[in-house]
Amino acid sequence: MKLAPIALLLASLAFAGPVFADDAGKEEAAKLLDVLDMQATMDQAVVMSLDSQLKANPQLVPYKEVMLGFLRKHMSYESLKPELVELYASEFTAAELKTARAFYSSDTGKKFIASMPRMMTLGAEIGSKQVEKHLPELQALMESEAARIQQSQPAPTP
C-alpha cells in the first residue's frame, strides 16, 4: 500500500520534464521574437503588403484606411504573439531557439532582421508577376475545365 504514493510521485516526475522543457521553449521563443523585433517587423510587413495589394488592385485605394485598420487590429503582433510563441516553441527546441537568438543578435543577424519585411514584399511581388505573366494560360485552363464540367452534368429533364 505504501508503494502507491511512491509510484504516483515517480509518475508525476516523469511528466514534469516535458512541462519544464515546454516552458523553456516558450520562454526562448518569446525572447527570440523580441530580438527579431517582431512588433516592428509585422507592422512594417502589414503596410508593405497592403501597399503591394493596392498597386495590384487600384480600385481598393479608397478603402486603404479601413483595410489598414482591420489588418492592424487582427494581424498585430500583440494579437498573434501567443500563437507565434507556441508555433516557434513547437517547431524548435529551447536550445535551437537560443542559438537562433544568438545569431539574430549578431550584426549579420540584425541585417537579416532589417531586410526581412522588404524581402518578403519583393518576394511576393515576384510571385505575383510570375502568375500575372502566365494568366492567359490559367484563363484557358479555367475555361477548358468549365466546359468539361458543363458537359459532364446531365441535361435537365423537361
Average pLDDT, the chain: 85
Instruction: Flag whether the pTM goes above 0.75.
Output: no
Predicted pLDDT at 41: 76
Predicted pLDDT at 9: 45
C-alpha 106, offset from chain centre? 24
**What's the DSSP call for residue 153?**
S
Q: Is the pLDDT of residue 19 over 80?
A: no
What does the pLDDT average to over 2-8? 49
Spatial separation of the C-alpha atoms in residues 41 and 38, rounded to whole Å: 5
What does the pLDDT average to over 68-90? 92
Half-sphere exposure of 46 (CA within 13 A, CB side): 19
Handedness of CA 34, 38, 44, 47 (dihedral sign): negative
Q: Which of the residue ranges 16-20, 35-39, 69-73, 144-148 would you say has the lowest mean pLDDT? A: 16-20
Cβ–Cβ under 8 Å, residues 47 and 68: yes
Using a pLDDT cut of 70, give the percent of the chain over it.
Answer: 87
Predicted pLDDT at 156: 77
